[in-house]
Structure 1
Amino acid sequence: MQVIFHIDEPAKWPMVAGNVKNLLNYYADQQQSVRVEVLVNGPAVEATAQGSHQAPTAVTEILAAGENVTLAVCQNALNGLAIKPERLVAGVTIVPAGVVELAEKQAAGYQYIKP
């Protein structure tokens, strides 16, 4: 199973972190592998910057979820919010454009979820 979660609203961070945890637990109980990417764009990218007060717990939980989980941030959103890549928390992956990443992952068979 391959799943891409899409978050662009800061208020949804706790829900996304909970959804990722629940999905991983379900597939672990079923002894099935799962690959998860959390794609962040829009105002939600602020939470991935060091020192952000937006949703640091949720970001930390996602980054600590395991090797089969990627937290990807849209470069266009970073540019729009004037966040430099060196300000991002360790472990975040930068993708050139969130919309392109979503389209490509769906074309590759990822299931799309937007809480």
Structure 2
Amino acid sequence: MVLVQTKIVFHVDELNKWPEVLSNVTNVLMDLAQHDDHHIQMVVVANGDGIMGYLIPSINDQISELAKTVEFHACHNSMVSHGLNSARIPSGVHIVPVGVIDLASLQDNGYRYLKP
């Protein structure tokens, strides 16, 4: 059996896109559970107004569950521009200095960019 490896980065820069992103991530994980020949790495990068999603309890509940298999990143620059400090970001979310550089770096490392 050949193991297929895929890397995906989801970009969230609008608050109203969080439900769609989380649905996409969940759908990928459900499909992955049915295919033992596939390995997927996923990262969700939030910047701009999307950073505010980390303050919504229902989103945080889903992130807590998904963080076992998905990485979540928060842009520090967006946090500053929206008046957020690291204490307000859920534990397990990795704070990156600049979200757009994080997105570019992930793409340089083979991640496929998806934006709902």
Q: Tell me the TM-score normalised to structure 2 length.
A: 0.88
**Counterpart residue number, 1:43:** 49
* 1:111 Cα offset (Å): 0.8
CA distance in 2, matches of 1:29, 1:21: 13
Q: What is the root-mean-square deviation of aligned Cα atoms in Å?
A: 1.3
Q: Which has the higher strand share?
A: 2
* 1:102 Cα offset (Å): 0.5
**Counterpart residue number, 1:11:** 16
**1:63 touches 1:70 (CA, 8 Å); kept in 2?**
no
CA distance in 1, matches of 2:70, 2:60: 12
- Runs of 5+ unmatched residues, structure 2: 1-5
Aligned 1:1-115 pairs, distance under 5 A: 1-31=6-36, 32-49=38-55, 52=56, 56-115=57-116
**1:20 touches 1:62 (CA, 8 Å); kept in 2?**
no
Query: Greater shift after overlay, 71-80 or 21-30?
Result: 21-30
3-state DSSP class of the match of 2:52? helix
**1:106 touches 1:112 (CA, 8 Å); kept in 2?**
yes
What letter corresponds to residue 83 of structure 2 in structure 1?
A
CA distance in 1, matches of 2:14, 2:94: 19
Aligned sequence identity (%): 34
* 1:89 Cα offset (Å): 1.6
Q: Tell me the TM-score normalised to structure 1 length.
A: 0.88
* 1:63 Cα offset (Å): 3.1
Query: Greater shift after overlay, 85-94 or 57-66?
Result: 57-66
What letter corresponds to residue 90 of structure 1 in structure 2?
S
**1:6 touches 1:112 (CA, 8 Å); kept in 2?**
yes
